[in-house]
């Protein structure tokens, strides 16, 4: 009986140690910034010499129901050139951004990761949010598109909403960054409205995220 009690005590100590170690590792990873050098258009040397007018291309697609493809490099080159101008005019004090970057990949059926890069006391910090579009055909042959703020799941139960640093976080943790993303949404309100209203709702268009690019197309 005494031996069993000692074994249970050791097991309890081991579990407690693993929990503390896991928590410590999570905190550590959350303060380690993502490696952004893998994103096309992040490095100044990797950007287009003259940034593509991304809003104009989205506007053209919305107006003419014309399919377009935007590369990760094109989008991030445009963001690098235009974000600071818009930020200074609207949310400079509130956001204090070093950069906003978008990573496109094919995981989970295609997703985009919106990454906020900040510099606080000379320390770089990143936080991100995943975004996916789910498109389903209805019985009347029309389509419905659902915007999902997740990048897949963990253990088939917990939705992964984004990342704090290198640490993937459950969807509920996005509450801590929702104000920052709301401000960014306001900066690019016109573009988001065109995608939602003119392309998805009115044009029955499809937003497809692929490796290093996004595609907008329309039904024949």
Mean pLDDT value across the chain? 79
CA dihedral 66→151→115→144, nearest 10 degrees, is 30
Q: What percent of the chain has pLDDT over 90?
A: 16
The model's confidence at residue 27, banded by pLDDT at 50, 70 and 90, is low
The model's confidence at residue 24, banded by pLDDT at 50, 70 and 90, is low
- Is 15 or 59 the better-scoring residue by pLDDT? 59
| pLDDT over threshold 90, residue 63 | no
Q: What is the pLDDT of residue 12?
A: 64
Question: What are the tokens at 197?
Answer: 């209203």
Residues 30 and 117: their CA atoms lie apart, in Å, by 13
Is the entire prediction scored with pTM above 0.85? no
DSSP class per residue in 156-217: TTEEEEEEETTEEEEGGGGGGTHHHHHHHHHHTHHHHHIIIIIIIIIT--EEEEETTEEEEE
pLDDT in tens, 94-140: 446 788 899 999 887 889 999 988 877 778 888 899 988 887 777 77
Lowest mean pLDDT across 17-21, 114-118, 122-126, 184-188: 17-21
Contacts (Cβ under 8 Å, ≥6 apart) of 34: 115, 126, 128, 163, 165, 166
| pLDDT over threshold 90, residue 220 | no
- Strand pairing class (123-137; 111-120): antiparallel
- Is 151 or 116 the better-scoring residue by pLDDT? 116
Q: What is the pLDDT of residue 85?
A: 47
102 phi, psi to nearest 5 deg: -125, 130
Residues 128 and 168: their CA atoms lie apart, in Å, by 9
């Amino acid at each position: 009986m005494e031996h069993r009690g000692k074994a249970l005590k050791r097991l309890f100590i081991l579990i407690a140690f693993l929990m503390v170690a896991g928590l410590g590792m999570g905190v550590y990873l959350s303060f380690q910034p993502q490696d952004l050098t893998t994103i096309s258009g992040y490095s100044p040397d990797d950007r287009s010499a003259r940034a593509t007018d991304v809003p104009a291309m989205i506007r053209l697609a919305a107006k003419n129901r014309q399919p377009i493809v935007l590369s990760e490099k094109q989008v991030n080159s445009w963001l690098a050139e235009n974000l600071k101008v818009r930020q200074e005019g609207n949310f400079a004090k509130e956001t204090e951004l070093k950069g906003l970057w978008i990573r496109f990949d094919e995981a989970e059926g295609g997703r985009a990761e919106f990454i906020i890069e900040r510099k606080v006391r000379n320390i770089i910090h990143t936080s991100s949010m995943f975004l996916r579009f789910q498109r389903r055909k209805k019985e009347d042959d029309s389509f419905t598109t659902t915007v999902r703020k997740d990048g897949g799941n963990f253990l088939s139960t917990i939705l992964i909403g984004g990342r704090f640093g290198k640490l993937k976080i459950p969807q509920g943790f996005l509450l801590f960054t929702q104000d920052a993303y709301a401000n960014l949404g306001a900066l690019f309100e016109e573009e988001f409205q065109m995608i939602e209203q003119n392309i998805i709702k009115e044009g029955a268009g499809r937003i497809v995220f692929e490796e290093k690019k996004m595609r907008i197309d329309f039904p024949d």
